[in-house]
Amino acid sequence: MSIKSDLNYWLGKYNIKPNKRLGQCFLISEKALFMIIAVANIQKRDKVLEIGPGTGILTEKLIKAGATVLAVEKDSRLINILKNRFSQNIKNKQLILLHTDFLKLKFPDFLKKYNFTDKHFKVVANLPYQITSPVIEILLERNFLPLLVALTIQKEVAERICAKTGDLSSLAVLVQTCTQKCKSVAKFPGSYFYPQPEVNSALLKLEGFSYPEGIEIKKLRQIVRIGFSQKRKKLKKNLQNVFGKEIIENIWKKLNLTENIRAQELPVEKWIEIVKELKVKIEKLK
């Protein structure tokens, strides 16, 4: 049975139509599924977090590759399919199924409950486009990092996340601060999905996770957001509006930063240095 036929069977059996509001576009390409499993380097006894398993097409591949999967699905209609389809895997605990909104879960507490540990689990998912940023933020900001992340997301977003200095975004700075490798591995055309989206997707691979020494990642995220709050304005001005002119002037001199530099033009390593300097300056003021 082809993947499209498999999808039609399960959707038809439960009389389900994809929910546009939830951003449901189901992956129907064997080539794409093979690539996801290969890029995620799924091994026997891997622990995998899958967000939005849908009808379980990717879930099945993960399980066959030997992984234990913790799947989080928001749609109650699809939960019924997953319970039916994977009843044996649920029974033998190769699949743990949670019926809830991932964005509302207390991360990482729910992972710890199922014996997931820091830097010893993978995140593999075909994500609804609209939750890409909040999902990545949750994965990186809670002091509980994955070993590897492989996500199918909108192509333009994947490119922005992996952008070079000059075209950085707030999310790109966060991701590149926490990872050694950030790569948009492959482009997936709309025909790889049902219903077919109007934009292309990409497979994003992130690995080599760690936090820079001497900073809190949430503090970095707050400062980066302030820096990007008005992208057309100089970065120095944006930061001065919050932290004061004298503090920022001193940091600019110490780090030998260009007066007119804007947030998207500042290299990631310089963002880290600014956060470290701000921490010292603010603590001295207390």
Does this model's pTM top 0.75? My answer is: yes
Residue 197's domain comprises 3-209
The domain tally of the chain equals 2
- Indicate the residue among 155, 189, 209 that finishes a domain: 209
The CATH number given to whatever domain includes residue 180 is 3.40.50.150
Q: What is the DSSP string of the chain?
A: --HHHHHHHHHHHTT----GGGT--EE--HHHHHHHHHHTT--TT-EEEEE--TTSHHHHHHHHTT-EEEEEE--HHHHHHHHHHTHHHHHTTSEEEEES-GGGS-TTHHHHHTT--TTS-EEEEE--GGGHHHHHHHHHHSS---SEEEEEEEHHHHHHHTPPTTS--HHHHHHHHHEEEEEEEEEE-GGGEESPPSS-EEEEEEEEE-PPTT--HHHHHHHHHHHTTTTTS-HHHHHHHHH-HHHHHHHHHHHT--TT--GGGS-HHHHHHHHHHHHHHHHHH-
To the nearest whole percent, how much of the chain has pLDDT over 90?
93
Q: Are residues 132 and 269 in the same domain?
A: no
**For 183-233, how does the pLDDT look when each residue is reduced to its tens digit (9 = 90+)?**
999 999 999 999 999 999 999 999 999 999 989 999 999 999 999 999 889
Residue 234 in this model has a pLDDT that exceeds 50: yes
Q: Are residues 193 and 74 in the same domain?
A: yes
Q: Are residues 179 and 62 in the same domain?
A: yes
**For 125-180, how does the pLDDT look when each residue is reduced to its tens digit (9 = 90+)?**
999 999 999 999 999 999 999 999 999 999 999 999 999 999 999 999 999 999 99
Q: Are residues 98 and 197 in the same domain?
A: yes
- Indicate the residue among 175, 209, 243 that finishes a domain: 209
The CATH number given to whatever domain includes residue 231 is 1.10.8.100
pLDDT for 280: 67
Q: Are residues 137 and 199 in the same domain?
A: yes
pLDDT for 148: 98
Q: Are residues 153 and 51 in the same domain?
A: yes
pLDDT for 177: 97
